[in-house]
Chain A
């Protein structure tokens, strides 16, 4: 499988239907702020690798939407989505937002690696996964803050919503810190939709299927809306809502 290379040197938003291997570089001192969106929807691709390299004074927001169309069909192979955020030089900042919807018996591993290699670099991951049927997901997040990468700031936040009793979500955050004076944190949630919220909406006349959509939309908004344009948010919403 080939590797696509994408070099960005100006402010832009690009939306890709991309499935396999891609290297993204933001060049040194380009002072650019880019937004990229990848839609992963081909169920036949077993592994997707996204490698990001950010140099001096660069700023990237990457949005990943996982919507394999596996509803109602049995899936044979496990899928791997690997995203590596390399913050190579000072003042590089990268943010990865991932939202996914998983159906049938799909089994997905998501591996997130954030490498803060130089001082004052910032790397953030924020994910939300909606699991239906008997789907499984395992998200691993590793934040590596290298020696001399002082004043770095990174976090890994992973949320998983179980929409069927047969779904399984696991999440494993790891922090490896070899520098002083840094900020690094992680947080994860795994749970079903809040029964008290469901009851409240039912008491106002809502049907259960509409309630799921309302609460899923609310969770997406809560996690993502302040970071993306309305246009991008609506694309996420349209793909994640049933």
Chain B
């Protein structure tokens, strides 16, 4: 099996202050795998996620740097083109969109992607997904991310993931703001998506999420915008025990 995503010699800066955040980073993510990116605060993990989906607040600074999705460069594609190719990035703090109900947003996103599906297909999948996330049916009448708790926002992201069935899901700190029960529910949903064939990249600070996710193959540690260490699930234990400082020493 090949690689679904390849980060090649990627250097990134924030447009706002021209601060260099990622330095010549190269990582390969195998298709239909689960990988974890870990690193301390400010190490460039979220900036990497945002660069992959094409956030205009970030620029790739080196022409040789590239992002390959199924061996094709996506760095010149628009954000929505990357999404429609099958890349889903969950947001740490999803933006509130007042007046747009979750239901209408989900319906439109679903039919943008699955043009041949019928309304009943959407309804069936939506109800199944709400049940999996233990959300009331009323949840989808709320405005998108508006006045939702931190946990509900994360569930809203996962609800979108379940319906859109991307080829690659990059979940940026999906565990932050979740209590123990919600963490289990969200992890269960991630495992469901994984079992349907979606490649998962988890971005997290903590071990606790990784305890609930099956079949983690690769762990990448990013610090100061550089790849510092690669390993398997045992590396998470090592980090939990010794902290990130031990990686540098």
Residues from chain A with Cβ under 8 Å of B109 in the complex: 204-206
A200 x B91 contact (CB < 8 A)? yes
CB neighbours of A201 from chain B (8 A): 97
Give complex CA distance A222, B108 in Å.
19
* Partner-contacting stretch, out of A21-29, A131-139, A176-184, A207-215: A207-215
A221, B142: Cα distance in complex, Å: 12
B148 to chain A, nearest CB (A): 14
Chain A contacts for B55, CB-based, 8 A? 199
Closest to A194 in B: B95
Asked if B100 contacts A218 (CB within 8 A), the reply is yes
Interface size counted on chain B using CB atoms at 8 A: 27
Residue among A194, A197, A205, A218 making CB contact with B113, cutoff 8 Å: A205
Q: Which of B79, B84, B99, B108 contacts A218 (CB 8 A)?
A: B99
Q: Does A220 touch B at the CB level, under 8 Å?
A: yes
B91 contact set on A, CB distance < 8 A: 200, 203
A203, A208, A217 pick with most chain B CB within 10 angstroms: A203
Say whether, besides A203-B89, A205-B113, A222-B98, A214 and B108 are in contact (CB < 8 Å): yes
**Closest chain B residue, CB of each to CB of A204:** B109
Q: Is B103 an interface residue (CB 8 A)?
A: no
Closest chain B residue to A195 by CB distance?
A: B56
Q: Is A232 an interface residue (CB 8 A)?
A: no
**B-side contacts of A204, CB under 8 Å:** 80, 83, 105, 109, 112, 160, 164
Contact (Cβ within 8 A) B80 A218: no
B98/A203 in contact, CB under 8 A:
no
Interface of A is mostly: helix
With beta carbons under 8 angstroms apart, the residue of A194, A199, A203, A221 that contacts B99 is A221
Complex contact B95–A200 (CB within 8 A): yes
Residue A77 CB within 8 A of the other chain: no
Residues of A within 8 A of B143 (CB): 218, 222
The answer to whether the Cβ of A219 comes within 8 Å of any Cβ in the partner chain is yes
A158–B99 Cα distance when bound, in Å, is: 17
**Given known contacts A205-B80, A206-B112, A210-B108, is B95 in contact with A222 (CB within 8 Å)?**
no
- A196 lies within 8 A of chain B by Cβ: yes
Q: A205-B109, A206-B108, A214-B108 are in contact. Are A200 and B83 (CB under 8 A)?
A: no
Residues of A within 8 A of B (CB): 194-197, 199-208, 210, 214-215, 217-223, 225
Query: Could you list 26 examples of A-B contacts with CB < 8 Å?
Result: A197-B97, A199-B55, A199-B56, A199-B79, A201-B97, A202-B80, A203-B88, A203-B89, A204-B105, A205-B112, A205-B113, A206-B80, A206-B108, A210-B108, A214-B97, A215-B100, A217-B99, A218-B99, A218-B100, A219-B98, A219-B99, A220-B99, A221-B98, A221-B99, A223-B99, A225-B99
